């Protein structure tokens, strides 16, 4: 009896592996032919929608949908001490909360690598672009500065969570205002000023994550496409003084990108940046 159960379990496991391999092979053939299940080209983005002021408690907030991937982002402001290595600058903190609500692949408990990586990539794309003028967030140099806290809450993860979260963070920052301060020097969240967070007018950062399966490179994958891919690389890009700027880069996965593939990506990046910026102008 026990041997029969073990054989059945082994057969089920093999069936699951065969199904996974079949799915990957199907995507590989489709990508090689330049096709996707939803009819998009390999580098096409899904439909975008952005809503603002979704939270009464945040200094700025936004909801972003790219296809079926949906993210809520809120911005809070605190008065804190500056970091020891930057007494003349305000602080920036980004956090992400990956809950089972967004995907059955996310679990309760201590944050796993994906939950740590997501806010770090968003942080680097924003911080290194110079979008926030941190020097203008100083209240008293070396003693008291504003801390900008960006909280990311995925509601539905259908792939490309990093890029969608970056859009959400940018959208929330653009609507955020600095709260009031009492005579005692405490934050007065009930009486907000009309002063926006000091954002640079010269740069607008975005992130683009390129995924590779076999010899094919795609953008904005669904969750199934994303899980079938071998490797990915995320670039934080902005535009300053008419020049495209690469602000951050992180690769994940064991498979390499060839020099030819990276050259191709560098040619694609400016075009996709301008394309997405045009779409965002409808909302910002």
Residue 141 near residue 86, CB atoms below 8 Å:
no
- Judging by DSSP bridges, how do beta strands 91-96 and 144-156 pair with one another? parallel
Q: Is residue 13 part of a domain?
A: no
- CA distances from residue 139 to 59, 127, 143, 175, 221 in whole angstroms, order as listed: 18, 20, 8, 21, 43
Q: Is residue 76 part of a domain?
A: yes
Q: What is the extent of the structural domain holding 68?
A: 39-280
Q: Is residue 174 part of a domain?
A: yes
For 178, the token pair is 């600095």
Q: What is the pLDDT along the chain (284 residues), one digit of tens a residue?
A: 545 544 444 554 545 556 578 789 999 999 999 999 999 999 999 999 999 999 989 999 999 999 999 999 999 999 999 999 999 999 999 999 888 878 877 777 667 778 889 999 999 999 999 999 999 999 999 999 999 999 999 999 999 999 999 999 999 999 999 998 888 888 888 777 889 999 987 778 999 999 999 999 999 999 999 999 999 999 999 998 889 999 999 999 989 999 999 999 999 999 999 999 999 999 98
What is the structure's pLDDT at 113?
77
Q: Is residue 8 part of a domain?
A: no
Q: Is residue 95 part of a domain?
A: yes
CATH number of the domain to which 149 belongs: 3.30.230.70
Sheet with 231-240, edge to edge strand ranges: 216-219, 206-213, 231-240, 243-252
Residue 209 near residue 233, CB atoms below 8 Å:
yes
For 52, the token pair is 């603002």
Q: Is residue 31 part of a domain?
A: no
Domain count, the chain: 1
Q: Is residue 228 part of a domain?
A: yes
Q: Is residue 93 part of a domain?
A: yes
DSSP assignment of 167-195 equals HHHHHHHHH-EEEEE-TTS-EEEEEEEEE
């Amino acid at each position: 009896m026990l041997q029969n159960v073990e054989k059945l379990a082994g057969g089920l496991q093999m069936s699951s592996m065969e199904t996974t391999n079949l799915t990957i092979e199907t995507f590989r053939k489709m990508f090689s032919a330049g096709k996707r299940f939803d009819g998009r080209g390999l580098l096409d983005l899904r439909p975008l929608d952005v809503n603002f002021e979704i939270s009464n408690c945040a200094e700025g907030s936004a909801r972003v949908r790219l296809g079926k991937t949906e993210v809520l982002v809120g911005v809070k402001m605190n008065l804190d001490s500056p970091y020891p290595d930057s007494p003349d600058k305000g602080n920036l903190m980004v956090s992400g909360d990956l809950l089972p609500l967004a995907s059955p692949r996310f679990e309760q408990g201590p944050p796993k690598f994906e939950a740590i990586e997501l806010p770090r990539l968003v942080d680097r794309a924003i911080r290194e672009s110079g979008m926030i003028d941190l020097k203008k967030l100083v209240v008293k140099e070396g003693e008291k500065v504003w801390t900008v806290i960006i909280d990311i809450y995925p509601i539905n993860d259908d792939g490309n969570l990093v890029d969608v979260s970056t859009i959400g963070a940018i959208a929330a920052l653009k609507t955020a205002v600095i709260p009031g301060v009492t005579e005692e020097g405490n934050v007065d969240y009930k009486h907000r000023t009309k002063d926006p967070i000091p954002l640079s007018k010269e740069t607008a950062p975005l992130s683009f994550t390129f995924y590779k399966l076999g010899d094919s490179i795609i953008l904005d994958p669904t969750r199934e496409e994303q899980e079938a891919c071998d490797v990915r690389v995320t670039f934080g890009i902005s535009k300053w003084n008419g020049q495209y700027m690469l602000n951050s880069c992180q690769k994940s996965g064991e498979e390499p990108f060839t020099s030819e593939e990276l050259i191709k990506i560098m040619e694609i990046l400016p075009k996709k940046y301008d394309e997405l910026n045009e779409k965002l102008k409808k909302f910002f």
